A and B are shown apart, each in its own frame.
Chain A
Amino acid sequence: MKPQPAADKTSSRQLPTWLGWLSRSGQRPSHWLNWRDPQVRALVFQALFVVGVGALLADIVANTLANMESRGISTGFGFLSSEAGFGILQTLIPYSETSSFGRTFVVGLLNTLLVSVLGIALATLLGFVIGIARLSTNWLLARLASVYIEVFRNIPLLLQIFFWYFAVLQALPSPRDSLSLGEAVFLNLRGLYLPRPLPEAGFDWVMAALALGILASIALRVWSRRRQARTGQLFPLLPAALGLIVGLPTLVFVLAGAPLGWELPVLRGFNFRGGITMIPELAALLLALSIYTAAFIAEIVRAGIQSVDGGQTEAAEALGLRHGQILRLIVIPQALRVIIPPLTSQYLNLLKNSSLATAIGYPDLVNVFAGTTLNQTGQAVEVIAMTMAVYLTISLLISLFMNWYNARSALNAR
């Protein structure tokens, strides 16, 4: 409810300020809980409603607990600390069969975040490219982009996930006939195997140089902005920053004698071991999620760009701005205002759609925690509540961030 305008000070002097706000304008200080006053009534009913909802929730919880108790189903979160006893295909943190159920939660959560973050990044990239391609003056390119959007937007995501998974599995060779690149990178139907970098002594210097390069680039940007504001002169920021961020660490790397070893994947027994593995479940899920979501993002981007009046581009050209500058300074900032709110929804959708992972056995939160852990412990209510809370929290965080970004790039009302 909106804060009420400050009460008239003279008439509500006897009352504390907040009580003064309760009565509409403080005209009847002696009857400040007057039932006929709509504001008072509204407040009372709202308070009653909140209490009612709270009581309802409390009763649902108590009722559930009582029923579970009477049916001999154990409750509580104690199971989180007992030993899990099952293996997980992909873990970003150390995990073994002797780890706890609580740890399976974290492992599943990290796997969900991994595929969501990678998926959001890829879908955004692909979506922007396709969206811009759809507006291209090149007939073929624009038509291809339209076909892409119509095809991938209109096929159910679960089918796409199955398609990519079984297509990937069918197309790739068995581990013994792996495709290999210089005996260091291997591809077979068990996954993509990459060498793992092993930093040796002196690698810290390279990391330090990288950090220095990034800091210097930020400083340079601030300086060049100020100089441009003062003198109007432009500074070639991009090549300079590239030199600082890429060149400097490379130079240090060479000077320090290339202090980096590689752990190569080796075929032992059935499968490759060592190195970094990208499992086909992740690849298939990532492909399906990105390609599907990119189709929606492309349409959002197209709509955003079309919402910027063509006259603005012409005006910018008349001012003598270059093509890249027009896009960067005029079109994109205005298009973003239209793009960001629906884009947020797409990010949220992608996160939630990632739970389809369970269909192809990618060990995400729903598969590992709301699947295996739920079944091994039987704590359905607790496990599902925790899982729902996670999706809600992450969705709210994404929402919050995008709202902040939206507010930042929104047009200031004049």
Chain B
Amino acid sequence: MFQRKFTQGCAACLAFASLCLGPLTAVAGDTLDAVKKRGFVQCGVNTGLPGFSNADDQGEWTGLDVDFCRAVAAAVLGDAQKVQFTPLTAKERLTALQSGEIDVLSRNTTWTLTRDTSLGINFTGVSYYDGQGFMVTKALGIKSAKELDGAAVCILAGTTTELNLADYFRTNGMEYEPVVFDTADQTARGFEAGRCDVLTSDQSQLYGVRLKLKEADKAEILPEVISKEPLGPAVRQGDDDWFNIVRWTLFAMVNAEEFGVTAANVDEMKKSTTNPEVRRLLGLEGIKGKGLGLKDDWAYQIVKQVGNYGEVFARTVGSGSPLGIPRGLNALWRDGGLQYAPPIR
């Protein structure tokens, strides 16, 4: 009797196994179809970083990275609200993108050669030019990062920050004690409790973390910026159509700012403008949505529902937000910044 049962079990097992072994393939170009079929964009964001991606007291996600996801949804589906946000830690984010759990990773992630070449992902552009800085308590009386020899430094695990920090202290012949935490909140708590003298992170994050401290005025951000941190959205390699859509979403936002198209005036512009560049942006003439496989008004929807780059920046991290970060490197190229988008034609 036992043998008989065993035989049946074995056969069932093998049948199940052969089911499991069906080929798992990712065909290029299928992300757009999958998103349209699903009805929403799956976007990987930060678990909590004021200004970039943070859930407010109503549970609504706000921030620059979050709004970029909404812009993608507006371009692809015509509705900026059709996004599902997946909060990810620094350690989880790349795997989540690689494995297909998310369609876009928009989570203050630094564009590096390694990430572009060996992880199977591609960065689509730079949504925020950042650099690594240091935050100290004012009581220490420190004016420069060069005075930090022997300091205990709180860092977030799994970031390029860890490597920059090591490089900086080594090249300046200084010693340090790395205290590595898993989330930004724990890092801030460690800093608050006095476990470390310095907290290091991208400058933009330092402003955000500082806001979260119980006594924000006791902390001070040092002037040194020790690295280049171009932060941008990333997609999986091998789907060039989807790559183009995400890349041109950002370009459309930057172009809109350059031409002075805002959420408020976009409808009027669409009706009355004679400027050929604006007409091409809004899908009234030229290539329209054909090249991207989207509706002709894809860029109009972005600006109408989310806003242009300058508007989003001001609302989330810039002058109109509690962070009050100046445009700096993130100003348009004609204002002395680095934000520059290729022409839509």
Task: Mark A residues whose CB is within 8 Å of B.
Answer: 38, 41-42, 45, 48-49, 52, 56, 59, 63, 67-68, 70-74, 85-89, 97, 166, 169-170, 174, 189-190, 268-271, 273, 280-281, 358-361, 363, 367, 371-372, 374-378, 380
B194 & A174 in contact (Cβ 8 Å cutoff): yes
Instruction: Judge whether B10 is part of the interface by a CB distance below 8 angstroms.
Output: yes
A192 nearest CB across to chain B (Å): 14
Q: Contact mask B77-115 → A, CB, 8 Å, 1/0?
A: 000000000000011001100100000000000000011
Q: How many residues of B contact A (CB 8 A)?
A: 57
Partner of B152, one of A56, A73, A166, A190: A190
Which chain B residues in 99-157 approach chain A with CB under 8 Å? 114-115, 118-120, 140, 148-152, 157
CB nearest neighbor in A for B197? A270
Residues of A within 8 A of B159 (CB): 375
Residues of B within 8 A of A68 (CB): 120
- Contacts A67-B25, A375-B159, A377-B114 aside, 6 further interface pairs with beta carbons under 8 A come to A72-B238, A74-B119, A85-B163, A87-B177, A378-B98, A378-B119
Instruction: Judge whether B179 is part of the interface by a CB distance below 8 angstroms.
Output: yes
A189 & B119 in contact (Cβ 8 Å cutoff): no
How many angstroms between the C-alpha atoms of A52 and B17 in the bound complex? 9
CB nearest neighbor in B for A55? B17
Segment touching A, from B180-188, B201-209, B329-337: B180-188
How many angstroms between the C-alpha atoms of A52 and B14 in the bound complex? 7
Segment touching A, from B164-172, B257-265, B311-319: B164-172
B30 nearest CB across to chain A (Å): 13
B238 & A70 in contact (Cβ 8 Å cutoff): yes
Known: A71-B26, A73-B120, A190-B195. A86 touches B178 (CB 8 A): yes
A166 & B149 in contact (Cβ 8 Å cutoff): no
A375 & B94 in contact (Cβ 8 Å cutoff): yes
Enumerate 20 A-B pairs (CB-CB under 8 Å) in ascending A order: A45-B7, A52-B10, A63-B21, A73-B120, A85-B166, A85-B167, A87-B177, A87-B178, A189-B194, A270-B148, A270-B152, A271-B151, A280-B195, A360-B181, A361-B182, A361-B190, A363-B180, A375-B159, A378-B98, A380-B95
How many angstroms between the C-alpha atoms of A59 and B21 in the bound complex? 7
A375 & B158 in contact (Cβ 8 Å cutoff): yes
How many angstroms between the C-alpha atoms of A45 and B13 in the bound complex? 12
A258 nearest CB across to chain B (Å): 32
Interface of B is mostly: mixed
Instruction: Judge whether B227 is part of the interface by a CB distance below 8 angstroms.
Output: no
Known: A72-B120, A85-B163, A86-B166. A374 touches B194 (CB 8 A): no
Instruction: Judge whether B189 is part of the interface by a CB distance below 8 angstroms.
Output: yes
Residues of B within 8 A of A190 (CB): 152, 177, 195
How many angstroms between the C-alpha atoms of A45 and B169 in the bound complex? 63
B142 nearest CB across to chain A (Å): 10
Partner of A166, one of B10, B25, B177, B189: B189
Partner of B6, one of A42, A52, A97, A269: A42
CB nearest neighbor in A for B166? A97
Choose among B162, B167, B170 the residue with the greatest number of A CB atoms under 10 Å from its CB.
B162
How many angstroms between the C-alpha atoms of A349 and B146 in the bound complex? 45
Residues of B within 8 A of A281 (CB): 179
Known: A97-B166, A372-B162, A374-B158. A56 touches B17 (CB 8 A): yes
Instruction: Judge whether B247 is part of the interface by a CB distance below 8 angstroms.
Output: no
Choose among A56, A63, A87, A280 the residue with the greatest number of B CB atoms under 10 Å from its CB.
A87
How many angstroms between the C-alpha atoms of A52 and B195 in the bound complex? 54
Instruction: Judge whether B236 is part of the interface by a CB distance below 8 angstroms.
Output: yes
Known: A63-B24, A271-B152. A89 touches B195 (CB 8 A): no
Which chain B residues in 69-83 approach chain A with CB under 8 Å? none
Residues of B within 8 A of A45 (CB): 3, 6-7, 10
